[in-house]
Amino acid sequence: MLAVLALRAPDRVRQELLRSSVMRPDVAHGALQTAVTRARRVVAITDDPYGFAEQVTSDLVRFRDAYQEAITDPSPESVQRALALWGAGPLPRLRAVPEVRELVGLQEELVRLQLRIRRRRLLIVDDQIGDRLRALFGEHDATVISSLQQFWDLKDDLGIFDLALVDLHLQVDNVDQEGLVIVDHLARETSLPAILMTVQPAPGTDLQKVMRDYHLVSYVVKGAANTALRDAVGDALSTDPDAALLKRLGDGLPDRVRKAEKRLTARGAARAEFAKLEMDVERLWSVFTKGSLPLVQETVRAFDSLYGDPRV
């Protein structure tokens, strides 16, 4: 059939020319002509009018089947098999074809699924039960450290991790708060999401305020079974990282604005400075609703450099 199409591409092709030993005898003429038309739109014809492009960039038929399997029973292996069939994707000239454009959307969905279910890398900072936490999250790759100094030694490699679990106290007497130093650095210098853990918060601790101040994913009270911690980690890793970071930045925006107003008031700023702050806040909200994550981060950093909070 491909040979007939190649030789007679500009013309209508008679049904009898396309019959073969593998074609069902009851194929209707209209259905066959529709299939031929679709094939002409999907198969890439070279500049040579008597041949088809030989390069195969993507097995789209098998990809669709593999996509269904991956969605039905998602696993890193099933998703990878489907994406391997996608290969380099269809030729650019074919991406405007509706059927192919639909498959491009399926491939993008699989990429997002792959990010959600892949084996993640956890950084666990705990001086007492780090190994137990590693076992608790055995489905992921975990690096366990137990001190602030070990964290500083690792700070240049933080980009390899997907999530940090940080204990509030890293000294045996439990009077330090070195965990806050770590999550403060993560909030200021990285986009790595963090969960703060403690056996017992200090009396009067406002957990929500701590989460806002340090842009935490969660603040968890550890227990014997660590069910709350496991739930918090599951929630953090099931969320798109960029979306999670945007949410944390957005949740902290009102507090940022209040602090900026407080600083201007404390130094007796002129009315014009408050007017500029109002304009900057409007721009900040606009970027949050319309901008990409890099633009949001850049805008937040610019805002903080003007109004005194270097955290992003």
Hey, how many other C-beta atoms are within 10 angstroms of the C-beta on 12? Answer: 8
The 10s digit of each residue's pLDDT in 59-88 is 788 888 999 998 888 887 888 888 888 877
Residue pLDDT, tens place only, 175-184: 789 999 999 9
- The amino acid occupying position 186 is L
Q: Contact, 274 vs 264, CB < 8 A?
A: yes
Q: How much is the average pLDDT of 263-278?
A: 89
Domain at 209, CATH number: 3.40.50.2300
Q: Is the pLDDT of residue 115 over 60?
A: yes
Q: How confident is the model at residue 312 (pLDDT cuts 50, 70, 90)?
A: very low
Question: Is 127 found in the same domain as 109?
Answer: no
Shared domain check, 230 and 125: yes
Q: pLDDT at position 124, please?
A: 97
d(CA 101, CA 45): 19
Count of CB atoms within 10 A of residue 4's CB?
A: 14
Q: Are 146 and 127 in contact (CB under 8 A)?
A: yes
> Is residue 223 domain-shared with residue 160, that is, in the same domain?
yes
Whole-number average pLDDT of the chain: 79
| Contact assessment for residue 55 and residue 92, using Cβ atoms and an 8 Å cutoff | no
Residue 258: predicted pLDDT = 85
In this structure, of 125-129, 132-136, 302-306, the range with the lowest mean pLDDT score is 302-306
Domain presence at residue 183? yes
In a domain, 222, yes or no: yes
The highest-confidence range among 18-27, 48-57, 137-146, 249-258, by mean pLDDT, is: 137-146
Contact of 217 with 163, CB cutoff 8 Å: yes
C-beta of residue 211 within 8 angstroms of C-beta of residue 180:
no
Query: How many domains does the chain contain in total?
Result: 4
Q: What percent of the chain has pLDDT over 90?
A: 20
* Residue 53 domain-assigned (yes or no): no
Check pLDDT > 70 for residue 107.
Answer: yes
Closest CA to 236 of 154, 153, 147, 120: 120
CA 162-166-168 angle, to 5 degrees, is 160
What does the alpha-carbon distance between residue 140 and residue 134 come to, in Å, rounded to a whole number?
8
- Same domain for 137 and 207? yes
User: Per the domain annotation, does 52 fall within a domain?
Assistant: no
Higher-confidence residue of 192 and 286: namely: 192
Please indicate, yes or no, if residue 55 is contained in any of the structural domains: no
Residue type, 159: G
* Bigger pLDDT: 46 vs 142: 142
pLDDT at 298 over 50: yes
**Both 227 and 154 in a single domain?**
yes
End-to-end, the C-alpha distance of the chain in Å comes to 60
CA-based Rg of the chain, rounded to a whole angstrom? 28
Q: Tens digits of per-residue pLDDT, 223-270?
A: 777 888 988 998 888 766 666 667 777 777 787 888 888 889 988 989
- Does residue 31 fall inside a structural domain? yes
From 239, 269, 296, the end of a domain falls on 239
Q: Are residues 79 and 182 in the same domain?
A: no
Residues 205 and 172 both lie in one domain: yes
- Tell me the residue length of the chain: 312
293-302: average pLDDT? 82
Say if 48 falls within a structural domain. no
Which pLDDT score is estimated for 31? 66
Q: Specify burial of residue 126 (Cβ count, 10 A radius: 0-12, 13-18, 19+).
A: buried
- Say yes or no: 128 and 229 in one domain: yes
| Residue 25 reports pLDDT greater than 80 | no
Structure tokens at 99: 């059927």
- Give the H/E segment covering residue 194: strand 194-198
Q: Which helix (H) or strand (E) holds 144?
A: strand 141-145
Per-residue pLDDT band at 36 (split at 50, 70, 90): low
State the greatest distance between any 2 C-alpha atoms of the chain, in Å, as a whole number.
Answer: 90
What span, in angstroms and rounded, lies between the C-alpha atoms of 217 and 209? Answer: 12
49: in domain: no
Q: How many CB atoms lie within 10 A of CB 158?
A: 16
Question: Would you place residue 26 in the very low, low, confident or very high pLDDT band (cuts 50, 70, 90)?
Answer: low
Q: Provide the residue type at 9 as one letter.
A: A
Domain that holds residue 177: 121-239
Is there a single domain that holds both residue 192 and residue 134? Answer: yes
